[in-house]
Structure formats: structure tokens, C-alpha cells
Amino acid sequence: MTRATVTIVGLGRRGASIGLALKTADLDYQVIGHDKDREATKQARAKGAVDSTSWNLINACEPADAVILTIPFDQVQETLQAIGHELRPGCVVVDTSLLKQPAIAWAAEYLDPEVHFISVALGTNPEVALETAGGPEGARADLFADSPCCLMPDPLCKPEAVKVAQDLAKLLGATPYFMGPDEYDGLATVVNVMPALVAASLLGPAGDSSSWQEMRRLSSTDLLRFSQPVAAGGPAIAQAAVYNRDTVRHWLEAAIAELQAIREQLDPEHQEALAARVEAVGEAREQWLADWKLNRWEKRPGPGMPTAGSLLGHLFGLGSRRKPGEE
């Protein structure tokens, strides 16, 4: 069998971690990496996450049997447009971006009919979820282990292409299951977009404060972890927020109402009520973390899991994702 080629576009923590996981699997394929940041490319290769790298996006993707996109949300559209007519027939594009409905629509617009598109959402291994190291330096082969992987394929995607994504999830140690992109985008807005906006709402005024020069010297890991979501980048967060603005407005109003309730409890006579409010949220957080570590979630019906080795087989012989005669 011809040796398969997997290209990872975006060599930050997630992309490099996928590369490390693929390189630990006992499969015969080559992994090509691409990133606009040459330092990230250099670090990913030094860490063994990729076999080779190409600074040119087209050159990196042209030979690929599968392309995995681990880039910021605001770069997905332009990337799909750039590679859409350059990919070989049967190539499977696996997208891991922030929102799914826009990504699936862009894929339908820009990708050739012979290319298959699947958007996935990768969870994080609860054992390493609180680690803050970013970029290739923070990459690890088990970053996605013991976590869910939501699969949202293009409706015209062949079953064999979907199985590529299922096998990829298994190689990463994740559990795949299907979810509607509209359902996912509504939920992801709360867990992925809102934390960055809320963090910006505190860190922004703090940074503008005349006391910030002294305040920042006393900063604890609490502020560091709280503000970490803004590292995703302003353009990516802004675009995702605008695309899902109705959901964002709903949760912003809920957060504002909660902050107003807290402000009303700042008087001494309401101190016990404020303490109870914070305690309740803290207890809910502890339960969430406990469930996360035990992978104790409501079980959804998942797809049948093929062996990891079948990933290679499914990458070959894939034809058009559209039936003959379809427009």
C-alpha cells in the first residue's frame, strides 16, 4: 500500500499534540506540518510532532491524503479558499475550529466535490486541562485522551471519510460521537467564546488602571488562568462572537444580571448571602471537575469504532462526496 500523508495546518499546542499522537501510533505514514509562525514550525519539528514542514501552504497540502486544520477561527475561511482546488481527489479535510456551521458552509463553497470535509470538536484530557503552557512547547500526545470528540461531517461526506475522523479520534484517545453543528455552536459559545469576553471585561479595565504597574507584580496564577482564554486572539474571538451574536447577547445579559446581583450583596448585611452564592458556584465547579476527571457524562450513542489501523485504508479510494449528476 502507498504510504499515506497527513498534513497538519497550524502547529500550536493542539496541532503539535495531534502530530505527537499520530507519531506514537504504529502506522506507516508521514506527517507534514505548516504554520505561518516559523518558530512554531521549528519547535514542532524539534519535538518530533512532524516529519517535515513546508512554509508554503499549498506545497504542504497538495500531497496530503488528509489535512487537519488546527488554526484560529478567523483563518479558516481564507485557508479553505486557498487550498480548495489544490487538494487531491479523495482528500479528507478535518477541521477543529471554534464554530462549525460557518466552517461547513465555507467548505461547501470552496472545496472541490472530490474533497471530503468533517468538522470536529476535540475535548481536553482532564488530567492536563489546567496546564497553561501554549504553543508546541505545551504539546503532548495525550492532550485529547479520555475526552469527547464531536463529529460534524459535511452532509455529502462519504461514510469512509467519516470513518477517517472516527479513527483519528481513537488514535488521539478520544471518544467520538455525532452532534448537530447548530447544537454544538450554541453550546461552544458558552464554553469557548464567553470565557474570553468575560476575561477581557476584567483584564481590560485592570490594565488601564493607574495601579496596574504595581498590581501586576502581585498577580497570582488565578488571574493568569482566568485571562488565558484571551490568548486565542482578538480576531478569532471577535469573529466567532459576531457569527453567534444572539447566543452571545443572551449569555452576556445573564452574566450582567449575575454581576448586578453580586453588587447588591456587597453591603455588610448581605455578606452571608454573597458567601452562599460563591460557595454554591464553587461546589458546582468541584462537581464538574470530578465528573470530568472520571469521564462521567451522560452517555450518547456513538459510532461503531473501527480499529485504528483502518485509518490508512479509508484514506485511499475515496471518490467524490457528491453523487454523479448532482450539482
How many angstroms separate the CA atoms of 272 and 267, rounded? Answer: 10
How many angstroms separate the CA atoms of 199 and 124, rounded? Answer: 20
Confidence of residue 319 (pLDDT cuts 50, 70, 90): low
How many angstroms separate the CA atoms of 88 and 83, rounded? Answer: 10
Amino acid identity of residue 261, one-letter, is A
How many angstroms separate the CA atoms of 4 and 2, rounded? Answer: 6
What is the chain's percent helix, strand, coil content, to nearest 5?
A: 50, 10, 35
Residue 12's closest CA among 62, 61, 75, 59? 75
DSSP H helical ranges for the chain? 13-24, 38-46, 57-61, 76-83, 101-110, 159-171, 181-188, 194-208, 212-215, 221-227, 234-243, 245-264, 271-293, 310-314
Q: What is the pLDDT of residue 304?
A: 41
Cell numbers found for residue 208: 488601564
- Decide if 10 contacts 70 (C-beta within 8 A): yes
Q: How many CA atoms lie within 13 A of 136 on its CB side?
A: 23
Residue 301, helix vs strand vs coil: coil
304 Ramachandran zone, left/alpha/beta (phi>0; psi -120 to 50): beta
Residue range 154-193, pLDDT digits in tens: 888 888 899 999 999 999 999 998 999 999 999 888 988 9
How many angstroms separate the CA atoms of 237 and 98, rounded? Answer: 9
Task: Among 11-15, 30-34, 212-216, name the one with the lowest average pLDDT.
Answer: 212-216
How many angstroms separate the CA atoms of 43 and 19, rounded? Answer: 12
Confidence of residue 320 (pLDDT cuts 50, 70, 90): low
Residue 2 has pLDDT above 70, yes or no: no
pTM: predicted TM-score of the whole model, two decimal places: 0.82
What domains lie within the chain, and their CATH numbers? 4-179+302-314 (3.40.50.720), 183-264 (no CATH)
Residue that is written with C-alpha cell 504554520 in the block: 35
Highest average pLDDT, of 149-163, 215-229, 266-280, comes from: 266-280
How many angstroms separate the CA atoms of 14 and 143, rounded? Answer: 8
Task: Among 170-174, 237-241, 303-307, name the one with the lowest average pLDDT.
Answer: 303-307
Residue range 78-114, pLDDT digits in tens: 999 999 999 999 999 999 999 999 999 999 999 999 9
175 Ramachandran zone, left/alpha/beta (phi>0; psi -120 to 50): beta
Percent of the chain residues past pLDDT 90, beyond the cut: 61
Residue range 110-138, pLDDT digits in tens: 999 999 999 999 988 888 776 767 788 88
How many angstroms separate the CA atoms of 196 and 76, rounded? Answer: 19
